[in-house]
Structure 1
Amino acid sequence: MTTVVLSIGSNLGDRMARLQSVLDGLGHAVVAVSPVYETDAWGGVEQAPFLNAVVIADDPALDSHGWLRRAHELEDAAGRVREQRWGPRTLDVDLVAVRDGGVEVISHDDALTLPHPFAHVRAFVLVPWLAVDPEATLTVAARRRRIAALLDDVDASERAGVRPTDLRLRVGTEH
C-alpha cells in the first residue's frame, strides 16, 4: 500500500476548478482532502493569492516516482508552465511525503526528494495537512516530528496568512 500526501495549489484562472481537477484525476485513490485555504504568494514574486489544500491518496500500483509522474500529469493537464521559480501557476501538485507499507519513503535522487525539503517550514502545507490528519508526522533532519509541532515552529505571521475559506473540494461520489 503506497500512500501519498499531496500539497495542491493554484493562483491562475479558475483556482477552485484546478484544485478539483486533482481530485477528479485521482478518482478512487483519494482517501481524504483538507478544507481549502487562501494564502498570499511567497518567494518574492508579485502575484495573486493561492488556493491551497492537502490531499491524501493511496494507490498500491504507484511507487514514489509513479506518484511524481502522476503529479506532473495532473499539472500538465491544467496547462502548467514552468517559466519562473515560485511564479504564478495554474496548478501546483507537490509530493510532500510518501509511505510504502506504512514506512516513510526517503529519497534524495535528482528527480525526487522525499520528504519534501521545505514542507516543514511552509504553513500553507502544514495547516491543511494538520486539518486532514491531526496525527500526521514528518521526518525532518532524520527526526520524526508531529505536524502540529512543526507548525508551532513556523512564524506566527505566516501561520496567520493561511486563511480558511468556505470552499470545499468534492471527493468521488460527492459530485
Structure 2
Amino acid sequence: MSRNLAQGIEGGPSRDAKTPVDAVIALGSNVGDRAATLRAALEDLARLPLVVEVKASTAVVSIAVTPEGPDEEAPAYLNAVAILSTRLAPSVLLDYLHAIENRHGRVRRERWGDRTLDLDLIAYADVTSDDPDLELPHPRAAERDFVLEPWLAVDPDATLPGHGRVDALLARLRGSE
C-alpha cells in the first residue's frame, strides 16, 4: 500500500512519528577524493538528528551519465547506497541532504554535471509523491544500475515503490544492456 505525503507522512494519523522508517539515499561523487567524500557523507548522515541507524553498501564505479547518455570522457563516479532508519520527515531529510552536499562543495552549475557529492533521496518507506520539490520514489531510480546494484547489496529484499523488487529491476536493466 502506498501513502501520499498529503496523507499524513509528516506525523499525522497514518504514521506514528515515533516509529522510524527506512529511507534510501544514493550517494555519488566524481570530483576530488571520491572515496573520502563518500565516507565523510556517510558520517554526516549518521550524525543527523532522528537517524537511528545507517546501513551502507560498498561503493561501485560507474560511467557518468548525461541527458544524452553515458559519457566515457567525463570522470567516473563512485556510487553507494545508504539506508537510514529515521524519524525525520522526507522533506526535512531532503533539506539535510542538500546541506551535506553544500558542505562538501557541491556546485549546481549544470544539470547532471560533474560533482563533488550527489545525495538523492531514492525512497522513503512506501511513500509516493509527485511534488516537483520531492518526487518519491526518485523518478529515474529504476533505470540506474549504479543505484540498484549497491541498494541490493545492502538489502537483498529491497522493493522500489511502484516498480517492484530491486533484484528484478536490475536483472531487467542488465538484460537490456
CA RMSD of the aligned region, Å? Answer: 1.6
For 2:35 and 2:164, how far apart are their aligned partners in 1?
31
| Consecutive unaligned residues in structure 1, runs of 5 or more | 159-175
Fraction of identical pairs, as percent: 45
For 1:24 and 1:145, how far apart are their aligned partners in 2?
30
Alignment of 1:22-171 (within 5 A): 22-27=41-46, 29=51, 30-43=53-66, 44=68, 46-60=73-87, 62-99=88-125, 104-140=126-162, 144-156=163-175
What do residues 103-151 of structure 1 show as CA deviations (whole Å, max 9, x unaligned)?
x1111112110000000010000000011100000123xxx51100011
For 1:58 and 1:38, how far apart are their aligned partners in 2?
26
For 1:87 and 1:105, how far apart are their aligned partners in 2?
28
Q: Secondary structure at the match of 1:106?
A: strand
For 1:118 and 1:27, how far apart are their aligned partners in 2?
25
1:151 corresponds to which letter in structure 2?
L
Q: Secondary structure at the match of 1:154?
A: helix
Closer, same or farther: CA 156–39 of 1 in aligned 2, 3 Å: farther
2:17 matched residue in structure 1: none
Q: Which runs of 4+ in 1 moved over 3 A?
A: 155-158
| Consecutive unaligned residues in structure 2, runs of 5 or more | 1-19
1:37–1:51 Cα contact (<8 Å) kept? yes
Instruction: Give 1 or 2 for the bigger CA radius of gyration.
Output: 2
Q: TM-score with structure 2 length normalisation?
A: 0.80
Give the paired residue count.
150
Q: Comparing 64-73 with 41-50, which one deviates more in the overlay?
A: 41-50
1:47–1:87 Cα contact (<8 Å) kept? no
Deviation (angstroms), 1:79: 0.7
Deviation (angstroms), 1:19: 0.5
Q: TM-score with structure 1 length normalisation?
A: 0.80
